[in-house]
Amino acid sequence: MPRLAGKNVFVTGSSRGIGKGCVLEMAKEGANVAINYHSHQSEAEMVANEARSFGVKAIVLGGDVSDRVRVEAMIAETADAFGSLDCFVSNAVYSDRQLMIEADLDGFRKTIDVGMWGAFYGVRGAALQMVKQGKGGSIVVVSSPHAVLAIPTAMAYNMAKAAIDHMARTAAVELAPHRIRVNIVHPGWIDTPGERKFFSEEQLEQGGKALPWKRLGRPDEVGKAVAFVSSDDAEYMTGGTLTVDGGVGLPWWSNRAEGAL
């Protein structure tokens, strides 16, 4: 029996990259999936078609996660389409890379609005829906080693990830009486389209070789972790952090390639 058979899932920021990996791995495990996009609708539709090839239902929802009203509407649309919301995955992000003293503050604020407030709106909205349903559920927050590593040129992103880690742990305590589990997944440096905003193909190849595991991670590897944490196999796990980072968190900094994160 697939781990998520009969479950209904909503993943934010899932037209590409890690979010896409989560959707497809959860669909393989039998979940009906709601795919969220902001600016990549055609790619979201392709992800939905690929998910349907596993025999599950899939819908596509456009919306900016920094808009609380739209986030709550997308959660309601998911529950209406599938009959319930059983699993929620907060994944959507935005990031610019600049030193703090040189940063465009509009981009800095957008990074916080999407990465922190967007995650909070999703977690809160999903929790409200699950409490109303009265049958528990699973919430997964896709965070990052940036939550604990002071990576230069990424202050806003670091701040947002540190905040949502603590948000998730606090939510785990508050939602335990409702049998709603809240967990965190920390991906490392993953080979996604978003990385091309900051690095060339050569830099990604060389940076991957400099990592302890000698390569970048893949979105499906993060997706497998998220699918596990969302499943009943992880029923005793709440407030925890599952790390899928190829060793980024290990003490290897003296050999780190410049710009590896």
Q: What is the mean pLDDT of the chain?
A: 94
- Give me 58's structure tokens: 């899939």
Residue 134 lies in a domain: yes
Residue 137 lies in a domain: yes
pLDDT of residue 252: 59
Number of domains in the chain: 1
> What is residue 261's DSSP assignment?
-
Q: Which residues of the chain have pLDDT under 70?
A: 252-261
N residues, the chain? 261
Residue 261 lies in a domain: no
Q: How far is CA 202 from CA 115, 134, 206, in A?
A: 28, 50, 6
CA 51 to chain centre: 17
Do 195 and 204 form a contact (C-beta atoms < 8 A)? yes
Do 85 and 75 form a contact (C-beta atoms < 8 A)? yes
Residue 144 lies in a domain: yes
pLDDT digits (tens, 9 = 90+) for 168-177: 999 999 999 9
- Distance of alpha carbon 56 from alpha carbon 52, whole angstroms: 5
Residue 72 lies in a domain: yes
Do 242 and 207 form a contact (C-beta atoms < 8 A)? no
Whole-model pTM: value is 0.93
What CATH number is attached to the domain comprising 154? Answer: 3.40.50.720
Beta-ladder partners of 35: 11, 60
The two beta strands, 87-90 and 58-62, are unpaired
pLDDT of residue 17: 97
State the angle between helix axes of 155-175 and 105-112 in degrees (0 to 180), rounded to the nearest 10.
Answer: 20
Identified catalytic residue from 37, 94, 121, 157:
157
State the angle between helix axes of 155-175 and 118-133 in degrees (0 to 180), rounded to the nearest 10.
Answer: 20
Catalytic residue check, 157: yes
Residue 154 lies in a domain: yes
Write out the residue range of the structural domain in which residue 73 sits: 8-196+218-251
pLDDT of residue 261: 47
- Distance of alpha carbon 138 from alpha carbon 52, whole angstroms: 22
